[in-house]
Amino acid sequence: MCWDETHFGKMGSYYINRTFFFDVHPPLGKMLIGLAGYLSGYDGTFLFQKPGDRYEHHSYMGMRGLSLPFCAFLGSWLIPFAYLTVLDLSKSFPAALLTAALLTFDTGCLTLSQYILLDPILMFFIMAAMLSMVKYNSFADRPFSAPWWFWLSLTGISLAGALGVKFVGLFIIVQVGLNTISDLWHLFGDLSLSLVTVGKHLTARILCLIVLPLVLYVTIFAVHVMVLNKSGPGDGFFSSAFQARLSGNSLHNASIPEHLAYGSVITVKNLRMAIGYLHSHRHLYPEGIGARQQQVTTYLHKDYNNLWIIKKYNTNTDASLHTDPLDPSFPVEFVRHGDIIRLEHKETTRNLHSHYHEAPLTRKHYQVTGYGINGTGDSNDFWRIEVVNRKFGNRIKVLRSRIRLIHLVTGCVLGSSGKILPKWGWEQLEVTCTPYLKETTNSIWNIEEHINPKLPNISLDVLQPSFPEILLESHMVMIRGNNGLKPKDNEFTSKPWHWPINYQGLRFSGANDTDFRVYLLGNPVVWWLNLVSIVLYLLSGSAIAIIMQRGIQLPAELQGLTKVLLRGGGQLLLGWMLHYFPFFLMGRILYFHHYFPAMLFSSMLTVFYLFHPLAYGMIGPLAQEPESPMAGLRWLESWDF
């Protein structure tokens, strides 16, 4: 087993077992992995623990191999896709053949396609979208014909596939979008076409390149949600309402009071991904860490120390004078938006408390503690509860209402920084009170468990989110997950400028493997030739732009060649740039394999440029004397700059 097979092979198993999990990428790639494993007889029981583990007594070849539409099979299609794309752009059989050869003998593409990874699947859809776009462009003189509709529709299907595997698919969507805008602008300027015809072109592209991919993309998530209906390791990344739909989760088929009331025993969950429940325990903050009072943290797991009692604001801190809201004679009073409350920790009877002492880890934030005993505390125990956007009226709904707790004295907002406390904090996550009132997921909470014997219970099935809400939440969680993939101390990573020069590769095999070693590295002949060709193409394109700007009239044959060089090569250069330069703007951890979609475009550009006649200075011969290459150079010398 190699590298990220520990993730994606395991996720394929989750689909076979219908167990819910979380990943930062959209689900299509893992769904296909699971389907390939299922069809080839894999039972979904292999643990996929670490690189170097052997696939003993498990059928893994269906997910890796050529016999089913999966990794090696899809990776092998990169070669004919590149061949056909360059053939269509350059009309040169030798150029297309050499492009196929470059990819056939690139060690990086070969290595990536041999394992259970998302990369060959992603590159398959990217190249399919590129080829389909080039093909429907080639039928521009036969609009609305059957081949034109076929390639236009296939472009939209491929775009949905690329985005459904990874968000990197957005880059090929941008490229197709720019090509479409340019195409429509050209059609709009063609006075031989009526506005009705232009409108038909616009409608066709909207249907095939926007509506069709969107429908397919949403369908992918619908299947994902339908298949993964059992509780699993991904539950904690999602909201309580989402968890209620998962079989085996403690919230599934549960019945609790719908609206929050005083005296209820509750758990409060932070809505930021994987932050957990508001938690306290009998341990105190150590000497020198703010006030030496009871620790308040967030904890990822369900625990009796997550339970709090919600009580009314009362300026009299003498507990003996407080009315017990659970007393049968005491009328039910619901908590409403804007109420001032106290939260008493059920296990220790201390109140949720904040003050002007600095938080343990986050500077300029205030410390949050447990203070008092048996409900007796002080004015720093009071919080104003607010429903974000007040979407659910004045009452606060369990699971559904998104709330914030604002400290009455300091004006700060209760939140969790997500930072891990040291050993004295049991490596739980820091809770702070931030004076910065901007609304963020760190400071938004919801009520999950709700116990109040005086209130009627309702089934949580009523509170389960609709599919549009699930779709939106899934994307929010994925985006936050991607943003949270920061490099850790001493973790191997790479920088984007390393990639085109093949500076360093990526170890695929386990750290202690002695039987075999696998290392991802591109063929240096191919990669360095690609880099040189990109530079030469930019120089040639700049020279042609200068010539045209100077007003030099080129022969008709030469104008056609120039158009082919700029348009065809420009499409490939744009593909390389869109799949490469955005990584310089990303703050997440990056690896060498992220460059491979861009590498495909640079390989096609290399051969397209090197086989183009203008690359050899054969401008004159093509225009005047095809049998004499030197004529082109003499013709260039005659130009008056």
Q: Is it the case that residue 548 has pLDDT exceeding 80? A: no
Q: Is it the case that residue 494 has pLDDT exceeding 80? A: yes
Predicted confidence at residue 507, as pLDDT, reads 86
According to the per-residue pLDDT averaged within each range, which of 302-316, 358-372, 466-480 is highest?
Answer: 358-372
User: Between helices 28-39 and 212-227, what is the axis angle to 10°?
Assistant: 60
Predicted confidence at residue 622, as pLDDT, reads 36
Predicted confidence at residue 508, as pLDDT, reads 83
Q: Is it the case that residue 272 has pLDDT exceeding 60? A: yes
- Calpha distance 547→128 (Å, rounded): 35
Closest CA to 641 of 542, 552, 562, 539: 552
Question: What is the amino acid identity at position 158?
Answer: S
Closest CA to 40 of 69, 62, 7: 62
Taking a C-beta distance cutoff of 8 angstroms, is the pair 371, 349 a contact? Answer: no
Span 381-419, pLDDT tens digits: 999 999 987 765 688 888 888 899 999 999 999 999 888
Average pLDDT of the residues in 301-312:
89
Average pLDDT of the residues in 274-280:
84
Lowest mean pLDDT among 348-357, 542-551, 584-593: 542-551
Q: What is the pTM of this model?
A: 0.81
Tell me whether residue 303 is exposed, middle or buried, using C-beta atoms within 10 angstroms of its C-beta: 0 to 12, 13 to 18, 19 or more.
middle
Count of alpha carbons within 13 angstroms of residue 322, beta-carbon side: 20
More confident residue, 625 or 148: 148
Predicted confidence at residue 223, as pLDDT, reads 95
Predicted confidence at residue 66, as pLDDT, reads 52
More confident residue, 52 or 94: 94
Tokens of 542: 């700049």
- Calpha distance 403→183 (Å, rounded): 48
- Taking all residues of the chain, what is their mean pLDDT, rounded to a whole number? 85
Q: Is it the case that residue 195 has pLDDT exceeding 60? A: yes
- Calpha distance 118→408 (Å, rounded): 50
Predicted confidence at residue 479, as pLDDT, reads 85
Strands, E, within 454-531: which ranges? 457-459, 506-507, 519-520
Taking a C-beta distance cutoff of 8 angstroms, is the pair 291, 285 a contact? Answer: yes
Taking a C-beta distance cutoff of 8 angstroms, is the pair 456, 257 a contact? Answer: yes
Taking a C-beta distance cutoff of 8 angstroms, is the pair 30, 48 a contact? Answer: no
Contacts of 228 (CB under 8 A, 6+ apart): 14, 15, 18, 19, 20, 21
Residue with tokens 């949050």: 368
Tally of CB atoms within 10 A around 331: 8
Taking a C-beta distance cutoff of 8 angstroms, is the pair 151, 136 a contact? Answer: yes
* Helix, strand or coil, per DSSP, at residue 220: helix
Span 28-77, pLDDT tens digits: 999 999 888 888 888 888 888 888 778 877 777 777 775 455 788 899 99
The strand pairing partners of 270, in sequence order, are 276, 445
Taking a C-beta distance cutoff of 8 angstroms, is the pair 413, 407 a contact? Answer: yes
Contacts of 233 (CB under 8 A, 6+ apart): 19, 20, 21, 22
Contacts of 215 (CB under 8 A, 6+ apart): none
**Sign (positive/negative) of CA torsion 605, 607, 609, 612?**
negative
pLDDT above 90 covers a percentage of the chain that reads 45
Taking a C-beta distance cutoff of 8 angstroms, is the pair 611, 90 a contact? Answer: yes
Average pLDDT of the residues in 443-463:
84
Predicted confidence at residue 629, as pLDDT, reads 43
Predicted confidence at residue 238, as pLDDT, reads 82
Predicted confidence at residue 92, as pLDDT, reads 85
pLDDT above 70 covers a percentage of the chain that reads 88
Tokens of 25: 């990428």
More confident residue, 579 or 437: 579
Span 223-239, pLDDT tens digits: 999 999 998 888 877 87
Helix (H) or strand (E) holding 268: strand 265-270
Question: What is the amino acid identity at position 258?
Answer: E
Rg (CA), the chain: 31
Span 514-536, pLDDT tens digits: 667 888 899 999 999 999 999 98
Predicted confidence at residue 209, as pLDDT, reads 96
Tokens of 176: 């197709």
Helix (H) or strand (E) holding 9: helix 5-17
Span 572-627, pLDDT tens digits: 999 999 999 999 988 788 889 999 999 999 999 998 888 776 655 543 343 343 44
Tokens of 423: 């050993």
Domains and CATH numbers, the chain: 240-483 (2.80.10.50), 488-641 (no CATH)
Question: What is the amino acid identity at position 347?
Answer: E
Lowest mean pLDDT among 142-146, 283-287, 477-481, 483-487: 483-487
- How close are the terminal C-alpha atoms of the chain, in Å? 62
- Calpha distance 330→324 (Å, rounded): 7
Tally of CB atoms within 10 A around 119: 27
**If you ran DSSP here, which 8-state letter would residue 590 be given?**
-
Tally of CB atoms within 10 A around 85: 27
Predicted confidence at residue 43, as pLDDT, reads 83
Three-state secondary structure along 121-160? HHHHHHHHHHHHHHHHHHCCCCCCCHHHHHHHHHHHHHHH
